[in-house]
Amino acid sequence: GRSVLALADFSAEEIERILQVAAQMKKIVLSDNKKRDFLKGKSMVTVFSEASTRTRSSFELAGKYLGADVINITKSGSSMTKGESMRDTLLTVSAMGVDAVIIRDSSEGAALFASKVMSPKVKVPVVLNAGDGAHAHPSQALLELFTLKEAGKNIKGMKYVIIGDILHSRVARSDIVGFTKLGAEVHLVGPRTLVPKELEAMGCIVDDDLETALKDADAINILRIQLERAAAGFIPTTREYARLFGINKKRLALCKPDVAVIHPGPMNRGIEIGYDVAYDEKSWIQEEVRNGVAVRMALEYLTLTEGKDIDALN
Ligand code: CP
């Protein structure tokens, strides 16, 4: 099977195919929460050295919905706390004979490393990147594309605005790649210290102020301010951030009336997103989480099987 390290490795047609399979998975598996056996006999392991609620549990649930066996390794409960390296952890896991490794790590390139390091003496598993440092989070960008299509947006030509801590965001980088491949106009806005102008080389637009960015937006993605990186000194105080860039109802009114609001989660409510926006009817934040299971079913199915049409299997 083919590993999923970054959306840069996928064509627009391949991305559309994943979204199409995710839609089928949502319809025939998620809609009635009924298990299927499309991945019966397959085994997967999640290896997460960074915290996660959504990504890890949705990859696990996705595998279980499709009949696979899934086990989880987190840093705190594993021999990584005794100093075992990521390389040795991956070699250990692959020696047990798993079909897929789903990895999250704070280092950029960790998923690529995982795809190269596992010993060919045993079966080499597929690697699915669940977030590597600030580099990529492909399944998150896919679930955002899926959700905005579901919200009725035509990705091609849409004004898509990513707001906030772009500097530390793997979601922003995967979004820039995925959304521009499908023809969206991607805008970035936030405090200058958190929006690297160099990202324009990836085909997006860096706006100077929030009002310009929000004007007539079709969809906005409000990023979490990564407070754990505040020690690096790039981040304004939370009060200052909320005042200058926090998205409240008044600011939301600058966007198109039917704007769709997404947020990758977890939210710092009252900082980057107001309470009045998080639960507004324009918010697709809960749907995103649900769609994350469908997208991850699609990724697991397509990478671990020959990708036969689901309707034929159903
Ligand atoms: N969106 C996202 O990656 O959330 P988690 O860190 O909870 O997995």
The CATH number that applies at residue 43 is 3.40.50.1370
* Closest protein CA for atom 1 of ligand 1: 264
Gap from CA of 266 to ligand 1 centroid (Å): 6
Residues 174 and 56 in one domain: no
What's the pLDDT tens digit per position in 7-38? 999 999 999 999 999 999 999 999 887 899 99
142 assigned to some structural domain: no
| DSSP code of residue 312 | H
Residues 171 and 276 in one domain: yes
User: Residue 57: CB within 6 Å of ligand 1?
Assistant: no
Q: In this predicted structure, what is the pLDDT of residue 120?
A: 72
- In sign, the C-alpha dihedral spanning 248, 251, 257, 260 is negative
* Closest protein CA for atom 3 of ligand 1: 55
Asked if residue 132 has pLDDT above 90, the reply is yes
Give the count of domains, the chain. 2
1 assigned to some structural domain: no
Gap from CA of 6 to ligand 1 centroid (Å): 16
Residues 276 and 298 in one domain: no
Adjacent-strand bridge partners of 282? none
Q: What is the mean pLDDT of residues 191-201?
A: 94
Q: In this predicted structure, what is the pLDDT of residue 231?
A: 60
Residues 127 and 159 in one domain: no
- Looking from the CA of residue 137, the nearest atom of ligand 1 is 3
User: Residue 140: CB within 6 Å of ligand 1?
Assistant: yes
Confidence band of 234 (pLDDT split at 50, 70, 90): low
User: Residue 53: CB within 6 Å of ligand 1?
Assistant: yes
Residues 219 and 269 in one domain: yes
| Pair of tokens at residue 309 | 């049409």
216 assigned to some structural domain: yes
Q: In this predicted structure, what is the pLDDT of residue 118?
A: 81
Q: In this predicted structure, what is the pLDDT of residue 180?
A: 98
Q: 3-class SS at 147?
A: helix
Q: What is the mean pLDDT of residues 148-163?
A: 98
Residues 157 and 40 in one domain: no
Residues 94 and 171 in one domain: no
For residue 255, the Cα-to-chain-centroid distance in whole angstroms is 24
Q: Which domain holds residue 94?
A: 7-136+289-305
Share of the chain above pLDDT 70, in %: 98
Residues 58 and 82 in one domain: yes
Q: In this predicted structure, what is the pLDDT of residue 11?
A: 98
Asked if residue 293 has pLDDT above 70, the reply is yes
Gap from CA of 54 to ligand 1 centroid (Å): 5
| Global confidence as pTM | 0.96
DSSP state string for 227-259 = GGGGGGS-PPPHHHHHHHH-B-HHHHTTS-TT-
Min mean pLDDT across 119-133, 175-189, 213-227 is at: 119-133
The answer for residues whose C-beta is within 8 angstroms of residue 218's C-beta and 6 or more apart is 153, 158, 159, 160, 255, 256, 258, 259, 260
47 assigned to some structural domain: yes
- Looking from the CA of residue 56, the nearest atom of ligand 1 is 8
Residues 262 and 299 in one domain: no
Binding site annotation covers 104? yes
144 assigned to some structural domain: no
CA distance to 12, 28, 174, 307, 308, per residue, from 312 (Å) = 24, 12, 32, 11, 8
Q: What is the mean pLDDT of residues 165-193?
A: 96
146 assigned to some structural domain: no
Strand order of the β-sheet with 205-206 is 205-206, 185-189, 159-163, 219-222, 260-262
* Closest protein CA for atom 5 of ligand 1: 52
Residues 89 and 158 in one domain: no
User: Residue 265: CB within 6 Å of ligand 1?
Assistant: yes
Gap from CA of 171 to ligand 1 centroid (Å): 10
Min mean pLDDT across 102-116, 126-140, 222-236, 272-286 is at: 222-236
41 assigned to some structural domain: yes
Residues 45 and 17 in one domain: yes
147 assigned to some structural domain: no
Asked if residue 89 has pLDDT above 70, the reply is yes
For the chain, the average pLDDT equals 94
Q: In this predicted structure, what is the pLDDT of residue 230?
A: 67
Residues 70 and 11 in one domain: yes
